[in-house]
Structure 1
């Protein structure tokens, strides 16, 4: 081997030994302790290795076609070296290739031979590719693919190499060993970015895209790739449970940006959602969370987000607040009045009668008029009336239904449940991550608190003066789906979120509440991304019917471990396992034992952990 190449690559001579960099008596260097070079094999320390180069490829490939090699149950390093070919060079090569193919075709025709199907197909492909390169629709790349196989003994390496070659033959790949170039081949598979073998094949853009392990044959390529916008892009959801590839997904490239996560309690749905939130924040997406169990407050505090604790002292939400946007609408008062009808229905736990609706509507409009607010948008900056003002107007009428309605609403204005409505709004919903924590709300106010929170979020999402990508997360959505008015509101939000450049993520552990009603099924139907984690045996039949699961998928969801599940997008689906770094795990876990350990007196206990990333 050339001595200059040895120096440049840091390759050691035959059987030479060189200790690496040592720290605290431990060898942490990059160089191996020993290297024995053979004709077709290497012995790296106590490990045997053999390197192969891919020199033959099938005519057509699908997305993720390298997955059988990446998922092979053995120690294998696969490296892909890519060098772009300049456009003038690519055009000249294609011109010469087309000339050679055309010359061969004409020579065969002159001698009266039959057409060669392979030559005809190659000529047609070269012609199409030349036009695509000329039009700027594609580029050419010089690609080299190499793999190193490792084993503990020579016999084990022989058996493993035979199995790998058998898999490659089934993929129509031709593998050749790096004979007499074992060191160069091994170095080409190390994470050094060096292609020493230089056994290249020319790929176009589409063919090269299918090589990457980030594309999956289980998911459509249009969704698993980078979206048309500059940012954000795909989010890592986990690893493929049936292979070694990654499952990345771009909700913003789908027909709509909504998602649904269904799982039984303890299956990891909140953990998965927190990872999705964190990775969306990395890309500049604003996230707003409805958190009934106060599971997201640690995450918000860690990333500098805002926590709004409804039910806490001095925290109020006024359902009669009007949007104060510069482009205010003249019908804002009437729209807000209609929303107050929904609020009252949820507070009373029943639909209003026709007489009650008439009385309530008159009282709402009178309360706005009393505050000096009319249909003129310039008056919308004035202080809005409160629910207490509406109830007082109802009580001062001679209508029996209005008086009865006022009496039923009194606990929410001056009674035990008045803390949420007895004044103007005090919450601020600004920031890159806003968590509406509802745990401190009494059970009787959980549904209305969720409804008011969704309304506050929707007003921020639909503000035409502040357009940006937003993700709205509604955890434990079954609390809202129990109320007819709340279910209808959630449905309307699912239908219109896409038009406001937002996505709605619905998470629930009670599949029956979501799939047992027409509105709930409509929310699922309007979610382009559907995540199914471990399911309970009592709910699997309903889930299987709604998502058309096969018998194998049913069994998989019943036996899945925590964090395992299916991602469903139309007819495409893939099995996945959620993964996280050590730092993400600390923020995402809700295990009481782990939280207790995290609050231990030793502040440096977690700083010493090494992230797998």
Structure 2
């Protein structure tokens, strides 16, 4: 856990915590005089302390003061290991150190109520007038219930302020700072971007209307035609600052406090403990670096004062007959801290900052507001800090807390670079992409996870988990979401007969591949209707050679060059009639290839034909039929659970080839194909199916294909050399409960921290870690059991019995 020393106590500028009756009278008299002289704003718009906001995000605060803001995404900090936290803290210190005396910065974290009505619109699934409308409504209602569990959202932005002669000069300087700051955030693995003027106004609108549901409606053209200012669009209906202890912004009650640090050491958990409260709040940290020479002189002067105080105490002790080496504890402590501070400034690349930490709380009533402040003060006290209300400075405090970049509160604390950087705003990364698939709730923040795999660099996926952890349920839930939201095709390779109910519910095609089945898929199928840019016969030849190699591998160790040449010679002959007249009855079957091999003169051809005889006229002739099922249905389930040991390998290879052809056709139709490969380790046991699967993971991204592999045993999975390519080409990994030995393997390969490992250690069904691109998100997916979809997706014996 990161922590930092907080020296420089003697440079704190503090107000009195309580006003005497005489003080209150003086304040009230000053307010009356200010009103009479016109120094107090008469409108809500005049209260907001900036003059103009430009479209590129530059804000002119005064004639010479300009600011700009960067919006930051959150990252996993609370779940990181101690070593990772130390690295992040060091990098954040470099960002803080970037700001010199000429550039002030303000870190703002805004927590505001989620707009549930907006989420309801976003998550609604429009009816299509078919038999699935009832399911669409059920699923949409479920999403709305889930998103309503996370009542508050938060936004992080960094605002920096400079002085310039005009906006042109400010634009040039702020542009350079923009690039540098975004670069520093990139080194932290934080996605950050410069905020436009519209985004800054929208953020200010949130801050000024924390507990109200007013929509932000604004466009730049309206300023030209109406004569209004941008402030007119963000200001609340009114401000009320008459009471010295709280304020009113519109219908909301608010109060501003400052954080007084009494601790000699503060920890990196302080800020997040405050932000984890359920309620509307703004935490604003203003910091301005002092000139290094001036800071050194100040510290040295204080050291001299402390030395003089020590000498005076020693003289007093000698006169009183006491030991001169016994000094007051406070004097000794201050001396050590000042000495350490001087060393840090001189040798450890530390700067000195004047810091103001303001916290705004808002609620719909005064009672709720006081409860919030009471809770926040309790949290501050546990960190040996105080939350002190800004009596009769509520207006200045609230305006200073806005992410504008101006500080009107003259309460400053001297902190070093590390003392300033200890207030890291990061907690846990989120993924919420409108139009994405629901994957549960973030276990750390409680927010809904919506993720669109199509937006990843490589959408390939792997689902890992022990039996009963919810692997197949997770994929069914994703597939149902995809079916209801998109036009993507869904293909399932079902090795355990787990997807039949869902596919039937979605009106899909179930293909039962078994020796006693009447559902047939022809391994010799070829598609000539789609121009793929490649010769279809050459592509088919690769598959047929893999097929022959598979059935020969046990006895001969694979195909020899002569045998490959014989097969290559036979393929054009076998497809000659179909190419002339491509009708279904001319499609060749394995028996046609067998006959063509029998007609060749080479002894190797006869050996091939003999090996193939078992699959043509023998007991395994199930694959020697033309396709008689609808393989073009939007949802297809290849049920291979009853194929048997001898047919399973060629059967799986046949299904893979069928999936490949379907994906090829969809690619040129501009359609996405999602493929779910259950019991994935079975495909990796044979070199032919493993190579075919690895090829799918290498190439399907360019073919609008999104494969997802499901398996329960990581060790078996890693025994295949092909898995190296598959893991490296997967930006989506959904990890459920893992066995102890598997956890250790995955922790090393995927750099999982000890705290993150707890989410896949003895976890319940539907709980785990989601790897989405470069983000790791702990999730909980408690799908409602009282829904029709749950009934067709569950494979729990107790649910099935019920």
In the alignment, does 2:555 pair up with 1:595?
Answer: no
Task: Report the alpha carbon displacement of residue 217 of structure 1 after superposing the two structures with TM.
Answer: 5.8
Q: Map Cα deviations across residues 139-171 of structure 1 (whole Å, 9 max, x no partner).
A: 63622323999xxxxxxxxxx999949996878
- 2:504 aligned with 1:504: no
* Aligned position for 2:322: none
State whether structure 2 residue 437 is matched by structure 1 residue 225: no
Cα distance in 1, alignment partners of residues 163 and 793 from structure 2: 53
2: CA distance, partners of 1:492 / 1:329:
18
Q: Is 496-505 or 386-395 further displaced after alignment?
A: 386-395
- 1:381–1:98: structure 2 CA closer, same or farther, 3 Å change rule? closer
Provide the residue aligned with 2:513 in structure 1.
310
Shift of 1:546: 2.1
Structure 1 window deviating more from structure 2 (378-387 vs 429-438): it is 378-387
Q: Does 1:174 align with 2:360?
A: yes
Question: Offset of 1:262 from its aligned partner?
Answer: 1.1
Q: 2:536 aligns with which of 332, 335, 339?
A: 332
Q: How does 1:99-138 map to 2 (within 5 A)?
A: 101-103=61-63, 117=104, 121-122=160-161
Q: Which residue of 2 aligns with 1:434?
A: 636
What is the aligned counterpart of 1:413 among 613, 616, 620?
Answer: 616
Residue deviations 1:66-102 (CA, integer Å, cap 9, x gap) = xxxxxxxxxxxxxxxxxxxxxxx9x985279989732
Query: Distance between the aligned counterparts of 2:163 and 2:699, measured in 1?
Result: 47
Q: Please state whether the residue corresponding to 2:642 is helix, strand or coil.
A: coil
- Who is 1:453 aligned against? 655
Shift of 1:408: 2.5
Q: Which residue of 2 aligns with 1:78?
A: none
Residue 779 of structure 2: aligned partner: 576
Q: Summarize the alignment of residues 354-369 of structure 1 with structure 2, pairs less than 5 Å apart.
A: 356=560, 358-359=562-563, 361-363=565-567, 365-366=569-570, 368-369=572-573
Structure 2 vs 1, CA of residues 546 and 350 (structure 1 numbering), >3 Å: closer, same or farther? Answer: farther
The Cα of 1:224 is off from its aligned counterpart by 4.0
Aligned mates of 2:576, 2:58 — CA distance in 1: 80
Give the Cα separation in 2 of the matches to 1:99 and 1:247.
34
CA RMSD of aligned residues (A): 4.3
- Output the CA distance in 1 between the equivalents of 2:672 and 2:559: 42
Paired position in structure 1 for 2:743: 540
Between the aligned partners of 2:757 and 2:571, the Cα distance in structure 1 is 55
Residue 16 of structure 1 is matched in structure 2 by none
CA distance in 1, matches of 2:719, 2:663: 29
Answering whether residue 473 of structure 2 is matched by residue 271 of structure 1, we say: yes
Residue by residue over 1:110-154, the C-alpha shift from the partner in whole angstroms, topping out at 9 and shown as x without a partner, is xxxx979479945679977999998878763622323999xxxxx
Superposition pairs of residues 438-517 of structure 1, within 5 angstroms: 438-463=640-665, 464-517=667-720
Give the SS at the match of 1:145.
Answer: coil
* Structure 1 residues 241 and 424: alpha-carbon distance in aligned structure 2, compared to 1, 3 A threshold: same
TM value normalised by structure 1 = 0.64
TM-score between the two structures when normalised by the length of structure 2: 0.50
Counterpart CA distance in 1 for 2:541 and 2:760 is 45
**Alignment equivalent of 1:557, drawn from 756, 760, 768:** 760
Tell me the secondary structure at the aligned position of residue 146 of structure 1: coil
* Range with greater deviation from structure 2 (310-319 or 263-272): 310-319
How many residues align structurally?
A: 457
Cα offset for 1:550? 2.6
Listed one character per residue, the Cα deviations across residues 275-300 of structure 1 (whole Å, up to 9, x for unaligned) are 11111112212211111112111001
Deviation for aligned residue 1:487: 0.7
User: What is aligned with 1:258?
Assistant: 460
Match of 1:79 in 2: none
**CA distance in 2 between partners of 1:367 and 1:98 (Å):** 68
Partner of 1:531: 734
List alignment gaps of at least 5 residues for structure 1.
1-88, 107-113, 150-159, 187-198, 205-215, 227-232, 598-613
Q: Does the CA-based 8 Å contact 2:756-2:778 persist in structure 1?
A: no
Which residue is 1:345 aligned to?
549
CA distance in 2, matches of 1:118, 1:500: 47
Given that residues 514 and 521 in structure 1 are in contact (C-alpha distance below 8 angstroms), is that contact kept between their aligned partners in structure 2? no
Q: Which of 409, 419, 444 is the aligned partner of 1:242? A: 444
Q: Where in structure 2 are there 5+ consecutive unaligned residues?
A: 1-47, 67-100, 107-158, 179-193, 213-251, 254-272, 285-357, 373-397, 405-425
Q: In 2, distance between residues paired with 1:359 and 1:105? A: 81
